[in-house]
């Protein structure tokens, strides 16, 4: 027996198998080219009441293998193997027979809750439908009453009224709750959750995972949780299955997979994700390359081209899934897993942490101030009525934001979607007089610029967007894409070509690639192209809007490292907008936490993240998943209630009050004065040690963590 | 919503007034009602012609703007659309002929739409299978065939059929036969037989275009996540497609309805002439031929009102089908 670590360590004794998948293969025949072999020979079981986490990068076959269980694959899919649910073979059933099991015994929660709900029926009707399909005796009324109850269970306030709402009237988090309500409606025995939180903010993600955990408790169902976020499985999964190129490459308990992985891919994956507790202390390990095409698989190990531990055998024989360590059910598919398990081949040697290019000296020296933003304001007119539009007030998207950036430093803007991050940076990029406040770039107040001086200054501030595919014009060769900002500056053709060569080298791409078109590049490479283009004019300040969130984790690391190197090499200042706090911590020096158009906490990132003082920051930090099962399970969470209020809503006093967990803990009698302060007095940023916090009761925030 | 609809209807009413007035204006400029009189031999005295022109409100000596105003205010205050060149009030023409046209239009659009929607859904669900391809080709052929050609083709077929069975089963001239027995059932049967060919043409043309649109709309939703969700809840594929897919795919059809109604009106105008139905379409053509300004304006008014109704109906349908636009 292995050591009993963590708070809720999993017992090795597993229940009766509920779902048994044997040798499942799924192939999609193609009209031209090779068939897509999306899933190949995977076998696994899920025991009753167990939570299995399935991880792997995009296209690895996570969804396809789970949809096969539900019988929901497109009709052209060729499925082989056997799937037994409670002893019954699912693959031999027809659609009619399967439909009796779907939604009753096996339920599924899909990734994108907006498109997963039918837009024309009310939430209540859709939940009732799930109930009435399997219980024909249930009356319409009774089903509706039950739907209200279910919405209550998943934490939707005012559910009697909400049950009549249409999907578009719900926020993303609420829709996902409704999906879970639908999934648990008939007390299923297995819930498949396919990336249930990927589209959501961390705070909402934490709520949803909690609801899922609760649903599991209530129904006693087993759960198969699919995700690409290692942090999400770490805290919740009993066992973890890692998929790569349609294969299951590792399977074991969460502890085994996270602490003693024996497949190099898992090792690399774990070392490529930053941890919000420790990020920036070490460099990330990039997993270069991309998975093989599923329609043209290599012989041998599919990971071989990316694997630093590959040996000759790897290119010839595909490794089988076997146990290598003491634990009989810790399996991995690797020729060298034995050596990894017994320590002959150290995990740190397979994927050593890369060296930083230059010692991070520049970033810590406080240089001159590049950008100074004071009391920035931006509002959007708000209209009511879908057809006859009337102006009905304004949304204060950015409402008095101040920060400054010194040369060589990186400031991160974090907060839930809708808190004003993107609006803030877009206002900066305008280089015009803002609606309110002042923007001073390199000592020049942008309000004083004329057309020419503005164009000249534009070279100093450049932006990189989130989606590498959308931001790059597909019809231009990448050389032209990169040179585009130079064109605006009137640089000659010859100088542009030289600069493109230089830039491609700088971002780690082959300069010979300048003539190729964007579609020939992978997501990570395209993002590098985006960065090269951002650097074309040699800007002093680079603004990055979610630069890595569209990338797979293994690819993220390379781009993050690149950004770090560039900062050191070029003494670049950056503004970095991201929702992934661990990524933010890996890169940024300072952080501004935003809530409803305001900064609520601002300071050096290690001070803010190690010791969050504002209740909102505390909640954000505790919601950020950590890819470490023990740590994740033993964490104390500060959960936030509900969603971000609509920015047009009038909230007196502290804007965070409607969701503030600290405010909620204040006793209405004993702390009446303190409560009144929250209710009446809008807190300003005030210094506390090295950081600034906008909360009246910073001294009491320990209440939340104890 | 009600308020919004009222606004829209008022909007359309104004548009109707504008369209009808424009038609009157154009007709006044382009048509010369006095022409038949002037060409008579012997030419009637000018005073007689002027008198006629005055009756029709078309005397060129009166400034055009004044004529328009008189005509317009007569409609507005007295519901009087003037006198046709055959000395009948245009209102009478409108009321007798509108019913005839409406028979064709209503049957054509309603059955055509339903048939088209069903075929479109069916084709989408069976995409690329032979049945879908047959429907696809057939609808393209129908779509590309001019109404006249199709009508004549049907007439030929019907004649052949009649000859084959030896009696005149399918009659296709006019709205009814003068010699049909006076009892209710024979009368109804007679009318239906007369309706058969013209409505078939209308139904086929509108079903052809509806089915294309519906098929596309349906293909869009086939792969939708909510269909998958419905199946995950325990619906079979077909039941999920019908309960959830068709319901969503009908939304764009509500706008298409308003649009296709316009084409249908054009089609039925031709059919009235081909099948000698005395409807508004025939009236419109005759009015132009007879230089009848008031008649042209009246026919335009009828079409404008039809468009008004179909547009309003399509908006009501849209709001009824899509909760996202309701407020
Ligand atoms: N209907 C289909 N026809 C052809 N190929 C398909 C089809 N559905 C999925 N695939 C392919 O199967 C492979 C596995 O897809 P799957 O959706 O299971 O990946 P995933 O691991 O869930 O990825 P993600 O993290 O992006 O959701 C992919 O290469 C995908 O392109
Ligand atoms: S089998 Fe070889 S290539 Fe594949 S993961 Fe193991 S060592 Fe790497
Ligand atoms: S001021 Fe009050 S409501 Fe606002 S964050 Fe602090 S404790 Fe919460
Ligand atoms: Mg997926």
Q: Name the band, by pLDDT with cuts 50, 70 and 90, for residue A331.
A: very high
Domain count, chain B: 1
Residue A258: the pLDDT is 94
Q: Where are the beta strands (DSSP E) in A287-344?
A: 321-323, 331-333
Residues of chain A positioned with their CB less than 8 A from the CB of B327: 385-387
A630-669: string of b/e by CB count within 10 Å (b at 16+)? bbbbebebbebebbbbebeeeeebbbbbbbbbbbeebeee
Asked whether A333 lines ligand 2 (CB < 6 A), one says: no
Which residue in the block uniquely carries the two structure tokens 């033993």? Answer: A634
- For residue A205, give the nearest of A231, A167, A183, A184 by alpha carbon: A231
Comparing CB atoms, the residue among A120, A179, A387 nearest residue B247 is: A120
- Put simply, whether A669 touches B (Cβ < 8 Å) is no
Q: What is the reported pLDDT for A8?
A: 39
Share of chain B above pLDDT 90, in %: 26
Task: Find the ligand nearest to A309 CA.
Answer: 2
Q: pLDDT value at position A141?
A: 93
Probe residue for ligand 2, chosen from A248, A302, A319, A345 as the CB with the greatest number of ligand atoms within 8 Å: A319
Mean pLDDT along residues A66-89: 92
Q: Are A438 and A447 in contact (CB under 8 A)?
A: yes
Contacts of A95 in chain B (CB under 8 A): 236-237
**pLDDT: is B38 or A441 the higher one?**
A441
Of A488 and A425, the structure prediction assigns the larger pLDDT to A425
pLDDT in tens, A39-63: 999 999 999 999 999 999 888 999 9
Domain that holds residue B300: 2-326
Q: Which of A306, A310, A322 is the pocket-test mutation for ligand 2 (most atoms within 8 Å of CB)?
A: A310
Cα–Cα distances in Å, from B1 out to A385, B93, B312, B315, B325? 10, 36, 12, 11, 10
Please list, in sequence order, all residues whose beta carbon lies within 8 angstroms of the beta carbon of residue A185, skipping any fewer than 6 positions away: A103, A107, A127, A130, A131, A146, A147, A150
A657 CB within 6 A, ligand 3: yes
Question: Closest to B224 (Cβ–Cβ): which among A115, A386, A388?
Answer: A115
pLDDT at B93: 86
**B184: how many CB neighbours lie within 10 A of its CB?**
8
Residue A390, pLDDT score: 58
DSSP B111-143: HHHHHHHHHHHHHHHTTTSHHHHHHHHHHHHHH
Q: What is the pLDDT of residues A374-425, one digit of tens each?
A: 999 998 877 655 445 556 677 788 989 999 999 989 999 998 877 888 889 9
Distance from CA of B33 to the nearest CA of A (A): 45
pLDDT level of residue A362 (50, 70, 90 thresholds): very low
Most confident range, picked from A206-215, A463-472, B31-40: A206-215
Alpha-carbon gap: B34 to the closest alpha carbon of chain A (Å): 48
Q: Cα separations (Å) of A247 from A25, A251, A254, A621?
A: 9, 11, 19, 34
Span between the terminal Cα atoms of chain B, in Å: 6
Chain A residues with beta carbon closer than 8 angstroms to that of B326: 386
Q: What is the pLDDT of residue A11?
A: 44
B320 touching A (Cβ < 8 Å):
no
What is the band of B251 on the pLDDT scale with cuts at 50, 70, 90?
very high
Chain B contact set for A386 (CB, 8 A): 325-327
State yes or no: pLDDT of B153 exceeds 70.
Answer: yes
Instruction: Assign residue B29 the CATH number of its domain.
Output: 1.10.3720.10
Mean pLDDT across the stretch A300-304? 93
User: Under the phi-then-psi rule, with left for phi > 0, alpha for psi from -120 to 50, and beta for the rest, what region is A597?
Assistant: left
Q: What is the pLDDT of residue A383?
A: 63
Distance from CA of B201 to the nearest CA of A (A): 34
Encode burial over A137-169: b for 16+ CB neighbours within 10 A, e otherwise.
ebeeeebbbbbbebbbbbbbeebeebbebbbee
CB–CB of A133 and B225 under 8 A?
Answer: no
CB contacts, 8 Å: A138 with chain B: none
3-state class of A527 per DSSP?
Answer: helix
CB contact B191 to A (< 8 Å): no
* pLDDT value for A358: 52
Beta carbons of A237 and A225 less than 8 angstroms apart = yes
Chain segment B292-327, per-residue pLDDT in tens:
888 888 898 998 988 888 888 888 888 888 888 775
Query: What ipTM was predicted for this assembly?
Result: 0.81
Smallest CA–CA distance, residue B235 to chain A, in Å, is 6
Ligand 3: centre distance to CA A176 (Å): 28
The protein residue whose alpha carbon is closest to atom 14 in ligand 1 is: A61
Does B6 contact A at CB distance below 8 Å? no
Higher pLDDT, A214 or A281: A214
- For residue A565, give both structure tokens: 């190197």
User: Is A99's CB within 8 Å of B236's CB?
Assistant: yes
- Evaluate if residue A3 carries a pLDDT over 60: no
Closest ligand 2 atom number to CA of residue A263: 5
- CA dihedral (B145, B148, B152, B154) in degrees, to 10, reads 60
Of A99, A118, A130, the CB nearest to B226: A118
> How far is the C-alpha of A680 from the C-alpha of A663, rounded, in Å?
13
B217/A contact by beta carbon, under 8 A: no
Give A363's pLDDT tier (boundaries 50, 70, 90): very low
Q: What is the mean pLDDT of chain A?
A: 87
CB of B147 within 8 A of CB of B270?
yes
Partners of residue A120 in chain B, C-beta under 8 Å: 247-248, 251, 321-323
pLDDT band at A348 (very low <50, low <70, confident <90, very high): confident
Residue with tokens 């007569």: B74
Is it the case that residue A2 has pLDDT exceeding 50? no
Output the pLDDT for position A21: 95
Q: Which of B235, B244, B248 sits opposite A133 (nearest CB)?
A: B235
Q: B301 vs chain A: nearest CA distance in angstroms? A: 28
Ligand 3 centroid to residue A655 C-alpha, Å: 8
Q: Is the pLDDT of residue A312 over 60?
A: yes
Strands, E, within A48-165: which ranges?
A: 51-55, 78-85, 88-89, 106-109
Per-residue CA distances from A208 to A106, A156, A191 (Å): 19, 11, 14
B233 vs A: CB within 8 A: yes
pLDDT of residue A191: 94
Least-confidence region, from A442-446, A522-526, A531-535, B201-205? A522-526
Q: Between the ranges A246-255, A385-394, B279-288, where is the mean pLDDT highest?
A: A246-255
- Using one digit for the tens of pLDDT, what is the confidence trace for B207-246? 999 999 999 999 989 888 899 999 999 999 999 999 999 9
| 3-class secondary structure, B161 | helix
Question: What are the residues whose beta carbons fall under 8 Å from the beta carbon of A77, sequence distance 6 or more?
Answer: A26, A27, A28, A38, A64, A68
Structure confidence at residue A356 (pLDDT) = 66
Lowest mean pLDDT among A113-122, A567-576, B56-65: B56-65
Residue in B7, B236, B324 closest to A166 by CB: B324
Q: What is the pLDDT of residues A433-460, one digit of tens each?
A: 999 999 999 999 999 989 889 988 988 9
Angle at A168 between CA A166 and CA A174, to 5 degrees: 85
Nearest-by-CA chain B residue for A101: B234
């Amino acid at each position: 027996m292995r050591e009993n670590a963590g708070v809720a360590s999993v017992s090795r004794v597993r229940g009766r198998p509920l779902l048994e998948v044997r040798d499942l293969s799924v192939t999609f025949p193609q009209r031209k080219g090779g068939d897509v072999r999306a899933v190949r020979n995977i076998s696994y079981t899920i025991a009753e009441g167990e939570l299995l986490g399935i991880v792997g990068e995009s296209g690895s076959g996570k969804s396809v293998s789970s949809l096969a269980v539900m019988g929901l694959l497109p009709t052209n899919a060729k499925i082989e193997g056997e799937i037994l649910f409670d002893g019954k073979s699912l693959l031999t059933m027809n659609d009619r027979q399967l439909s009796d099991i779907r939604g009753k015994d096996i339920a599924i929660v899909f990734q994108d809750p907006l498109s997963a709900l039918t837009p024309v029926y009310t939430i209540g009707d859709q939940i009732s439908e799930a109930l009435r399909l399997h219980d024909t005796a249930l009356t319409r009324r009774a089903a509706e009453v039950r739907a209200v109850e279910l919405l209550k269970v998943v934490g939707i306030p005012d559910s009697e009224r909400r049950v009549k709402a249409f999907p578009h009237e719900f926020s993303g988090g609420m829709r996902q709750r409704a999906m879970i309500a639908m999934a648990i409606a008939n007390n299923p025995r297995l819930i498949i959750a396919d990336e249930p939180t990927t589209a959501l903010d961390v705070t909402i993600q934490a709520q949803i995972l909690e609801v899922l955990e609760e649903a599991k408790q209530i129904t006693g169902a087993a759960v198969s949780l699919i995700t690409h976020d290692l942090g999400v499985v770490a805290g919740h999964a009993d066992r973890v299955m890692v998929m790569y190129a349609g294969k299951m490459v590792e399977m074991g308990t969460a502890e085994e997979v996270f602490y003693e992985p024996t497949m190099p891919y898992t090792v690399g994956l774990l070392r490529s994700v930053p941890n919000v507790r420790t990020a920036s202390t070490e460099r990330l390990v990039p997993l270069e390359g991309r998975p093989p095409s599923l329609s043209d698989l290599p012989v041998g190990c599919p990971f071989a081209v990316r694997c630093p531990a590959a040996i000759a055998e790897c290119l010839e024989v595909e490794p089988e899934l076997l146990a290598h360590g003491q634990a009989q059910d810790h399996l991995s598919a690797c020729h060298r897993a034995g050596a990894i398990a017994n320590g002959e081949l150290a995990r740190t040697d397979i994927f050593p942490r890369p060296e930083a290019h230059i010692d991070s000296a520049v970033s810590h020296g406080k240089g001159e101030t590049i950008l100074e933003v004071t009391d920035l304001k931006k509002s959007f007119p708000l209209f009511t009525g879908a057809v006859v539009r009337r102006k009905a007030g304004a949304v204060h998207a950015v409402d008095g934001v101040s920060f400054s950036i010194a040369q060589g430093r990186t400031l991160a803007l974090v907060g839930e979607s809708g808190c004003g991050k993107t609006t803030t940076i877009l206002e900066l990029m305008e280089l015009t007089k803002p609606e309110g406040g002042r923007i001073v770039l390199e000592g020049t107040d942008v309000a004083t610029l004329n057309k020419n001086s503005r164009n000249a200054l534009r070279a100093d501030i450049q932006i990189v967007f989130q989606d590498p595919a959308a931001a790059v014009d597909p019809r231009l060769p990448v050389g032209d894409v990169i040179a585009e900002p130079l064109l605006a500056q009137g640089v000659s053709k010859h100088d542009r070509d030289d600069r493109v060569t230089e830039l491609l080298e700088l971002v780690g791409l082959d300069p010979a690639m300048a003539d190729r078109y964007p579609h020939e590049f992978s997501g990570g490479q395209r993002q590098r192209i985006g960065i090269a283009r951002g650097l074309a004019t040699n800007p002093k300040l680079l603004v990055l809007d979610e630069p890595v969130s569209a990338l797979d984790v293994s690819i993220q690391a390379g781009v993050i490292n690149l950004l770090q190197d560039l900062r050191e090499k070029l003494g670049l200042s950056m503004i970095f907008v991201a929702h992934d706090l661990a990524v933010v911590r890996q890169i940024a020096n300072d952080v501004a936490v935003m809530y409803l158009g305001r900064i609520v906490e601002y300071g050096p990132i290690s001070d803010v993240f190690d010791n969050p003082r504002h209740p909102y920051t505390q909640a954000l930090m505790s919601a950020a998943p950590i890819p470490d099962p023990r740590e994740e399970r033993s964490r104390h969470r500060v959960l936030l209630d509900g969603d971000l209020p609509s920015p047009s809503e009038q909230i007196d006093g502290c804007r965070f009050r409607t969701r503030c967990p600290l405010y909620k803990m204040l006793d209405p009698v004993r702390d009446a004065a303190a409560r009144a302060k929250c209710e009446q007095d809008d807190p300003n940023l005030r210094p506390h040690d090295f950081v600034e916090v906008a909360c009246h009761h910073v001294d009491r925030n320990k209440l939340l963590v104890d | 919503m009600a308020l919004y609809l009222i606004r829209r209807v008022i909007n359309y009413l104004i548009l109707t007034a504008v369209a009808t007035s424009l038609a009157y204006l154009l007709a006044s400029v382009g048509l010369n009602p006095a022409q038949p009189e002037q060409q008579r031999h012997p030419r009637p005295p000018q005073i007689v012609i002027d008198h006629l022109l005055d009756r029709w409100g078309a005397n060129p000596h009166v400034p055009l703007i004044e004529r328009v105003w008189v005509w317009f205010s007569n409609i507005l205050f007295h519901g009087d659309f003037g006198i046709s060149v055959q000395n009948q009030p245009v209102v009478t023409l409108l009321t007798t002929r509108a019913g005839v046209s409406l028979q064709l239009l209503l049957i054509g659009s309603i059955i055509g739409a339903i048939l088209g929607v069903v075929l479109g859904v069916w084709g989408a669900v069976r995409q690329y299978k032979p049945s879908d391809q047959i429907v696809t080709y057939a609808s393209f052929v129908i779509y590309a065939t001019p109404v006249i050609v199709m009508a004549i083709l049907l007439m030929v077929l019907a004649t052949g059929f009649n000859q084959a069975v030896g009696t005149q089963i399918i009659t296709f001239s006019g709205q009814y036969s003068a010699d049909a027995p006076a009892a209710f059932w024979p009368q109804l049967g007679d009318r239906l037989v007369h309706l058969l060919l013209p409505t078939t043409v209308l139904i086929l043309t509108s079903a052809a275009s509806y089915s294309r649109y519906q098929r596309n709309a349906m293909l869009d939703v086939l792969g939708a996540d909510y269909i998958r969700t419905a199946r995950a809840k325990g619906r079979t594929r077909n039941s999920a497609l019908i309960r959830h897919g068709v319901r969503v795919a009908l939304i764009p059809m509500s706008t298409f309805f308003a649009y296709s109604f316009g084409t249908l009106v054009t089609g039925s105008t031709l059919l009235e002439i081909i099948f000698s139905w005395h409807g508004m379409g025939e009236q419109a053509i005759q009015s132009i031929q007879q230089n009848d300004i008031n008649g042209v304006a009246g026919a335009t008014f009828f079409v404008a009102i039809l468009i008004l109704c179909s547009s309003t109906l399509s908006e009501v349908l849209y709001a009824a089908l899509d909760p996202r636009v309701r407020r």
